[in-house]
Structure 1
Amino acid sequence: MVTEACRKNQITVNGQVAKPSREVFPMDKITFRKDQITYSITVLDIPLNRVGAKLVDIYRKDETPAEAFAHLEMLKLSKEHYRKSGVGRPTKKDRRDLENFDLDNEE
Structure 2
Amino acid sequence: MPEKEKLRIDKYLWAIRMFKTRTLASDACKAGRVKLDGANIKPSHEVRIGEVYSIAKGIERKVVKVTGLLENRTDAKTAVMFYEDITPVEQTTAFKSMFHAPVLKRDRGTGRPTKRDRREIDDLQGGFFEKKEEE
TM-score (norm 2): 0.55
Name the structure 2 match of 1:94: none
Distance 1:17 1:24 in 2: 14
Q: Deviations over 1:42-65 (max 9, x none)?
A: 001113x42332211111000012
What's the C-alpha RMSD, in Å, of the aligned pairs? Answer: 2.2
Instruction: Check if 1:21 corresponds to 2:41.
Output: no
Give the direction of change, closer, same or farther, for the CA distance of 1:73–1:53 in structure 2 (3 Å limit): closer
Instruction: Identify which of 63, 71, 86 aligns with 2:86.
Output: 63
Name the structure 2 match of 1:5: 28
Q: How does 1:1-107 map onto structure 2 within 5 Å?
A: 1-47=24-70, 49-50=71-72, 51-78=74-101, 81=102, 83-85=103-105, 87=106, 90=108
Q: Which has the higher helix share?
A: 1
Name the structure 2 match of 1:101: none
Q: Which has the higher strand share?
A: 1
Q: Deviations over 1:27-56 (max 9, x none)?
A: 011101124232100001113x42332211
Compute the displacement of 1:77 (Å).
Answer: 2.0
- Structure scoring higher RCO (CA < 8 A, sep ≥ 6) equals 2
TM-score (norm 1): 0.67
- Rg comparison, structure with higher value: 1
**Structure 1: which 5+ residue stretches go unaligned?**
92-107
AA aligned opposite 2:68: D
Distance 1:5 1:45 in 2: 21
Distance 1:15 1:69 in 2: 19
DSSP 3-state at the match of 1:24: coil
